[in-house]
Chains A and B, each alone.
Chain A
Amino acid sequence: MRVELEAAYVLHARAYRETSLLLEAFSLQHGRVGLVARGVRGARSRTRALLQPFQPVLLSWRGGGELATLSGVEAAGPALALQGERLLGGLYANELLLTLVARDDAQPALFAHYQALCAALAAGTPIEVALRVFERDLLDALGYRLLLAQAADGSPLQAALRYRYVADEGAHPASGVDDGVPVAGASLLALGRGELADAAARADAKRLLRAQLERLLNGRRLRTRELARALLGGARGEPATSSIPEGAHRR
């Protein structure tokens, strides 16, 4: 199989043998692919800088199966200058894609959401909001769409009511059930619109999305989460809120 100039992002690159890289890339038409880039780590390599995460690229490759061979790379736009916590947020999204999206499963809609996330992180959208919206869209693309306009019984969600969100069913009025994630109606509606303006909505959205992602992760640990936690745990005096949902509560 030959693929020419396919829009893609490198999610992760690791050194392979003396001068090569093993890449995990996320492409528009072919989903997540594993590629080996031969001879790109040398001192004279011109392509090394392009094979970094958060750089939109056009990739060409040939071969199929587990690992295809990269045959060309061109820049498709300027690299996103993500720094500090924004960089960690981007790495977190990459880890989610690496963990939850299967290889060779075309996800054009998810690709667009990932692109939007990268743009939002680079543009200075609050990191928490950008990540929550991406998590919502990721669940949607994987077939676990959250119901954010209607309650489980089909009636419209009321902003003023409290609900409990039960996986696979939707939001039940808080008085009716014991399980599920407690959330405010206003928070569910805000997440649906992608505008998490106040702290309460952000906290609700984080808890809700974390619970849903935990089900898909099935006990697997996210290392970027742990790094973000170590960073915030270590940096005393910093506000102790991570935009990346943590696996377990601290304290």
Chain B
Amino acid sequence: MEALRCLPGVGPKSASRMAFHLVERDRVGAERLAHALLAAAEGVRHCRRCRNLSEAELCSVCADPARDASLLCVVETPADVLAIEQATGFRGQYFVLMGRLSPLDGIGPSELGLDRLEARLDEGQVRELILATNPTVEGEATAHYLAMLARERGIRSTRIAHGVPMGGELEYIDGGTLAHAFSGRREV
């Protein structure tokens, strides 16, 4: 029970429910879970190229020859890669920052390992850098910094659009998002 409590949001009560379920009703599931956890804890590492979580040296995206290496999408976390993969038809490659520039927390370019991204840009394959950091103050600062890195190398950089969520109603949207959506309007 104590071991299950390392999961986020699992307190003593939920931990005991999970433990009883696994031991009393689902021994097979418990063994599968144990094997999967062990394999993940031993085998998962960061992809050499994009730093996404991967079991192999190169993740499946970086290893796929059909992906377009001239499009590089920069995101903050592995969860962002998953979200983009599931929701969009993006066929380029990724670079995972594993964080964002946050000077007030002491996270600067060297703490983020941006030299790896610079090296990637210097390889010369990338034609467009897609900045998909979060629309927070730190995400914007990060995007600005990365755009400067790209500009210096003559690489086009684009920022993902921010706006009204699908199925949303303007009335309930916060002012900042609405202002962004308005200033970023485009011709139809």
Q: Hey, which bits of chain A sit against chain B, CB under 8 A?
A: 11-12, 14, 18, 46, 49-50, 52-55, 75, 78-79, 81, 83-85, 87-88, 91, 94-95, 98, 223-224, 226-227, 230-231, 234-238
CB–CB A224/B144 < 8 A: no
Q: Which residue of A lies closest to B149 (CB)?
A: A234
B54 CB, nearest partner CB in chain A, Å: 25
Q: Interface centre among A75, A230, A236, A238, by most B CB within 10 Å?
A: A230
B residues touching A (Cβ–Cβ < 8 Å)? 8-9, 101, 103-106, 108-110, 136-137, 140-141, 144-145, 148-149, 151-152, 172, 174-177, 179-180, 183
Contact between A78 and B140, CB atoms less than 8 A apart: no
Inter-subunit contact B176/A79 (CB<8 Å): yes
Contact A91 B176 (CB under 8 A): no
Per DSSP, chain B at the interface is: helix
Nearest first, the 8 A-B pairs at minimum CB distance are A223-B103, A79-B176, A49-B174, A224-B103, A235-B148, A227-B103, A84-B144, A53-B137
Indicate which residue in A88, A230, A236 contacts B152 across the interface (CB closer than 8 Å): A236
Inter-subunit contact B174/A227 (CB<8 Å):
no
Closest to A94 in B: B104
11 additional A-B residue pairs with CB within 8 Å, beyond A91-B141, A235-B151: A52-B136, A54-B137, A81-B180, A81-B183, A85-B144, A87-B137, A98-B104, A223-B106, A226-B103, A227-B145, A236-B152
Establish whether residues B174 and A46, one from each chain, have CB atoms under 8 Å apart when the complex forms. yes
| Partner pick for A83 among B109, B144, B172, B179, CB 8 A cutoff | B144
Tell me, rounded to whole Å, the shortest Cβ–Cβ distance linking A155 to chain B.
42
The one of B103, B104, B151, B176 that contacts A78, using a Cβ cutoff of 8 Å: B176
Q: Is the CB of B104 within 8 A of A91?
A: yes
Residues of A close to B104: CB separation below 8 A: 11-12, 91, 94-95, 98, 223-224
Q: Shortest CB–CB separation between residue A131 and chain B, in angstroms?
A: 15
